[in-house]
Amino acid sequence: VRLEESGGGLAQAGDSLRLSCELSGGPLSDYHMGWFRQFPGKDKDFVASINWNGDVTYYKASVEGRAVISRDDAKNTVYLQINNLKPEDTAVYSCAADIVMSRRANYLESYFTNIAMYDFWGQGTHVTVSS
């Protein structure tokens, strides 16, 4: 399984960006998906997640209301749109895939925000927001 992010770049405060993450090597529907970001010198931090069928999403408080995570299984791609970008959104954004073990289980938010649960990672895409 390989994950490839795209869509990062330079933006100004108030702009919107849509990040894409294409999964290859399997059907996207076999995975819960998450977006994480990493600030310089810091560990990866949860941003948003979407479960295998798109019914359940979670967001970090600092992006909730500004970000939308979505998935298009036909394109094997998951997206993260962030609106009203702020300089503090500047980071490397990585997508991650978690193999679905049960399609019937009710997964808690703590499951999706746990970086250790994810099995595959992309290399990341840089987002820089200027004020």
CA distances from 96 to 38, 46, 49, 67, 69 (A): 13, 10, 9, 17, 13
Contact residues for 97 (Cβ-Cβ < 8 A; gap 6+): 1, 3, 23, 31, 32, 33, 34, 118, 119, 120, 121
Contact 58, 48 (CB under 8 A): yes
pLDDT for the residue 104: 81
Tell me, what amino acid is at 107? Y
pLDDT for the residue 76: 98
Q: How many residues in total does the chain contain? A: 131
pLDDT for the residue 48: 98
Q: Tokens representing 1?
A: 């399984």
Q: Please give the average pLDDT of every successive group of 10 residues along the chain, which has 131 residues.
A: 97 98 97 96 96 95 97 98 97 97 85 94 98 93
The whole-angstrom separation of Cα 47 and Cα 93 is: 9
